[in-house]
Amino acid sequence: MFKQLFFDDQRLFARENARRIYGAPEYVGHYRDSLLNISYCWAYAIKGPDGKTHLLFQGLYRGQVAEGMSYGAAVSDDGIHFQPRNTASGSGIQNPDFPYQLFPTDAKGSEIAAVLEDPKAPPSERYKMLFTDNSRRDKDLHIIDTVLFSADLISWKEKCGCYWNPIGTEPLLGAFYNPVNDKFTILTRPDLTHRRVAITETPDWQYYSPMEICLQNDSLDKPLAEIYGMPAIEYDGWFIGFPHIYADFPQILNTKCDGGTMHVQLAYSLNGRHWQRALRTPFIDAGHPAIVENMGLPGKMTFLTSALRQDDGSILLYVITNMKEHGTPNAELQENDTCINILRLREDGFIGLQTEDKNIPARVATREIVWHGGEVTFNLVVSKATCAVYERTFYEVVPIPGFSHEDCTPASGDRVRWIPQWKGGNLEQFAGRILVFELRFENGTLYSVSGNGTPVMSMEGARYIKFGELPASKGF
């Protein structure tokens, strides 16, 4: 199976009258804790063993000076409407501050950095938490980055001898299982206050590969802009990153902590190791119309910490917004200044190709695909769309009778899984041949094309025609 998302044109023969745009997530709900200011990248959503969505978060007591970090938990049947979860008794906390407390209050302000499911672990260690222990920070300017494990997302224990960053660093980061190399990937800052994205990998949570830089700010960014961190997910053979861009702060001669804004862009990878930036415009920021409506005013800071796939294919995005600036003291934050906003993104809706001139049809054609059977599927929103199918011979690409645009029954409207129909029949008859798909669409956006095939380039296609050889999996 393959899925083509349109972050670039690498797998396209043609793109006419189609501009690249980010998808537009819709606001569906929010969670605001009654006690804590969740003002930083301090909330993580994950599916639990009970099938529910669990929200693990931390914050500082509203209205108080930052003297201790408190940790809480909430739960939801639908991933949108959350209620505090009674975790204190299950966590073994003596004299808890509140019923949904997850860990004892930490005077040093240690932080949850990521929470993920480990599909290879025994049930007792099914869930992993990357934790940043700040107990040594004042003494020797280091953080201890540890791994905790749990069976139920309530009771957590430290996995002894596991330190995912040898120097130690703080959130924001990404962590996911990578099926390409059967390892877990951690995208983290290489050191405290070092605002670039480094990568380390582990097969077992004991051994970690040496840190390598995989993404940083570049010449297309705003002056002095920094990548604050990059959560990321694996998605149908792709890896989607959410680089957080911190910019627009005063140009003082010091590390930038006060002033400025934070917004989220997108990055992508085919193997989870080598990353490229997408559009240099906000995918999500605190000026999102629905967030402004919920919060009352445009915010300053935005942190996208979790993205969860739903049963219908859509993705729920958990976005922490802060009306104040990065360095605003906790005592100055009011009840409505911080919030976990929940947005829904359509399936494959990260990026798309949109009709540029609405008076002219857009044209998008794939490169060659060795077809293994079944039908092709498009995800689009259009006034009208048709698809033509071509076959790659050894020397050229030729039309297939009965599979032209005129032979295709047009599609219209919002079609997450449009399967074209032609007068010539279905595509199953072309299993084992090399096909090219050309889509024409009016006044709309194309998000993806997918099917049971192997994308190839021209020489790979020629070898397949002559020798029947499919290219080996290269991990890119």
CB 431: neighbour CB atoms within 10 A?
13
CB 261: neighbour CB atoms within 10 A?
20
Whether the predicted pLDDT of 101 surpasses 80: yes
Q: Which domains does the chain have, with CATH numbers?
A: 2-20+352-467 (2.60.120), 26-345 (2.115.10.20)
| Residue 284 main-chain phi, psi, to 5 deg | -140, 135
CB 295: neighbour CB atoms within 10 A?
21
Three-state DSSP class for 240?
Answer: strand
User: What pLDDT, on the 0 to 100 scale, is given for residue 402?
Assistant: 99
H or E element, residue 20: strand 18-22
pLDDT digit string, tens, across residues 322-371: 988 887 888 888 888 899 999 999 999 999 999 999 999 999 999 999 99
User: What pLDDT, on the 0 to 100 scale, is given for residue 394?
Assistant: 92
- 292 confidence band (pLDDT: 50, 70, 90): confident
Integer-rounded Cα radius of gyration of the chain: 24
- Which residue carries 């991990």 as its tokens? 475
- 298 confidence band (pLDDT: 50, 70, 90): confident
> To the nearest whole percent, how much of the chain has pLDDT over 70?
98
- 66 confidence band (pLDDT: 50, 70, 90): low
Kindly report which listed range (125-134, 139-148, 424-433) carries the lowest average pLDDT score: 139-148
| pTM summary value | 0.96
Chain centre to alpha carbon of residue 60: 27
Question: What is the rounded distance in angstroms from the CA atom of residue 360 to the CA atom of residue 443?
Answer: 8
Whether the predicted pLDDT of 22 surpasses 80: yes
Residues listed for the chain? 476
| 88 Cβ contact list (under 8 Å, min separation 6) | 96, 98, 99, 100, 101, 102
DSSP state of 168: -
Whether the predicted pLDDT of 473 surpasses 80: no
Q: Strands, E, within 49-110: which ranges?
A: 53-61, 70-76, 83-84
CA distances from 444 to 132, 261, 416 (A): 45, 32, 13
Question: What is the rounded distance in angstroms from the CA atom of residue 162 to the CA atom of residue 130?
Answer: 10
Q: How many helices (H) and strands (E) does the chain have?
A: 4, 34
Question: What is the rounded distance in angstroms from the CA atom of residue 414 to the CA atom of residue 359?
Answer: 20
Count Cβ neighbours within 10 Å for each residue of 85-102 and write b for 16 or more, e otherwise.
bebbeebebeebbbebbb
Whether the predicted pLDDT of 211 surpasses 80: yes
Count Cβ neighbours within 10 Å for each residue of 349-363 and write b for 16 or more, e otherwise.
bbbbbbbeeeeebbe
CB 326 within 8 A of CB 337: no
CB 224 within 8 A of CB 251: yes
Q: List the one residue out of 204, 158, 209, 206 whose CA is nearest residue 188.
A: 209
- 138 confidence band (pLDDT: 50, 70, 90): low
Rounded to the nearest integer, the mean pLDDT of the chain is 94
Give me the mean pLDDT over the 418-444 stretch: 98
Whether the predicted pLDDT of 435 surpasses 70: yes
DSSP state of 284: B
Give me the mean pLDDT over the 432-459 stretch: 98
CB 39 within 8 A of CB 337: yes
Whether the predicted pLDDT of 397 surpasses 90: yes
- Which residue carries 């989870």 as its tokens? 272
CB 187 within 8 A of CB 175: yes
* Tokens (6 digits) for 30: 């929010």
Whether the predicted pLDDT of 86 surpasses 90: yes
- 89 confidence band (pLDDT: 50, 70, 90): confident
Whether the predicted pLDDT of 476 surpasses 90: no
